[in-house]
Structure 1
Amino acid sequence: MSRISKKAAFFATTAAAALTVTMTATPALAWPAGDFTATLAGDMVIDAGIAATCTDSTLSGTVATDGTLTVTSASVSGCGVTVTPVGLPWSGSLSGGVASFDGFQMSAIGCTFGGDITGSYSGGETFPVTAAFTEQTVDRTSGWLCPSSATVTASYTFTQP
């Protein structure tokens, strides 16, 4: 092998080794799998023509390493009327700065509203993170003389026990 070929082979091998070390040394971002609790940060406003402002809400469930959520328990209080989360479990995700709940449903005064809601979160892919849902429209799923839709605005801080 000529001296130029040996140098080229040496540099190519060194570059490949450096790339391999760099690629294997950078860990993939992943959520810490396990249980989570999400606590209302501020107020939740559910507006179906008349706004109900709720002062307390907690969600709990599990998160997978890819950010997939399963909400198995939800509570809401301090609304001035009884608001009941229904249709659990809800699914959802925290991925790439986007927070979502699929199958979200709340019932109040004989009306149930539900649907998929999407917001954003800040804080990276580790807890705690705060997810904000602003004026998300959910459709009436049951009830007589109820508006056809409502909007939901809420922020939740997600933590792990």
Structure 2
Amino acid sequence: MSRVTKLAAITATSAAAVALTATAASADSWTNGPFTAKANSNSLVVKVGGTTVATCSGSTLSGSMTNTGAFSVTGANATGCGVTVTPTGFPWSGSFTSGTTKINGFKMTALGCTYTGNLSGPYTGTAPPATVTFTNQPVTGSGLLCASNVTVSVTYVFTQP
């Protein structure tokens, strides 16, 4: 083999190895089974317009995950909010796909209003733990005298046992 042919063969082999490694690293490594997601401090922030109306000191999600990154939220809480915030309407569906996490069917009640929406935000990490950041996600309020222009922001760290 000539030096050029050897170099081309080594380069092709190296490129194939890098491609296989990149594919494996970019594929989510979830397992079928339970997950928990815990919010960081000042975890759940609710704003009306640009004004913060509630900052919860704790929030968690729980449910089940598939090995493809699809998940179902079957339990949630929000604590230390200054007002009672109650997650409802389970299950919420979700997915980790191409760097984006989505939660569909998000629903919480507070101050006599029900807020619903679909959350979407980027995640980092290709396997548990994965950090998901939802920033200023719009939710719709229903009920008497409920605020409009409401957004939710929260960062969760998803883990599996």
Tell me if TM exceeds 0.5. yes
User: Helix, strand or coil: the match of 1:32?
Assistant: coil
Alpha-carbon contact 2:30-2:68 (below 8 Å) kept = no
Contact preservation (8 Å) 1:113, 1:149: no
Partner Cα separation in structure 1 for residue 144 and residue 80 of structure 2: 24
Structure 2 counterpart of 1:139, which letter? T
Matches within 5 A, 1:42-81: 42-43=41-42, 44-48=44-48, 51-81=53-83
Q: Distance in 1 between matches of 2:149 and 2:115?
A: 7
Partners of 1:109 and 1:80 in 2: CA distance: 11
Deviation at 1:148, TM superposition (A): 2.5
Gaps in structure 1 of 5+ consecutive residues: 1-17
Corresponding residue of 2:153: 153
Which structure has the bigger radius of gyration? 1
- Show the counterpart of 1:105: 107
Structure 1 equivalent of residue 131 of structure 2: 130
Q: Write the deviation string for residues 81-121 of structure 1: whole angstroms up to 9, x where unpaired.
A: 00000111100111111011000011100011111010111
- Count of residues paired in the alignment: 144
* TM-score, with structure 1 as normaliser: 0.79
Q: Aligned partner of 2:79: which letter?
A: S
Which amino acid in the other structure matches residue 120 of structure 2?
T
- Counterpart of 2:36 in structure 1 is 37
1: distance between equivalents of 2:95 and 2:40? 19
**2-side partners of 1:46 and 1:31: how far apart?**
32
Aligned residue for 1:66, secondary structure, equals coil
What is the CA distance between 1:66 and its match in structure 2?
1.3
Question: How far did 1:42 drift?
Answer: 2.3
Q: Which runs of 4+ in 1 moved over 3 A?
A: 25-28
Q: 2:117 aligns with which of 115, 118, 132?
A: 115
Q: Deviations over 1:49-104 (max 9, x none)?
A: 65100000110011111111100000111000000001111001111110110000
Give the Cα separation in 1 of the matches to 2:151 and 2:76. Answer: 18
TM-score normalised by L of structure 2: 0.79
CA distance in structure 1 between the aligned counterparts of 2:28 and 2:96, rounded to whole angstroms: 11
Change (3 A) 1:122 1:116: same
CA deviations 1:25-46 (Å, max 9, x no partner) are: 7675243221110001122101
Paired residue secondary structure (1:146) = coil
CA distance in structure 2 between the aligned counterparts of 1:153 and 1:109, rounded to whole angstroms:
18
Structure 2 alignment gaps of length 5 or more = 1-12
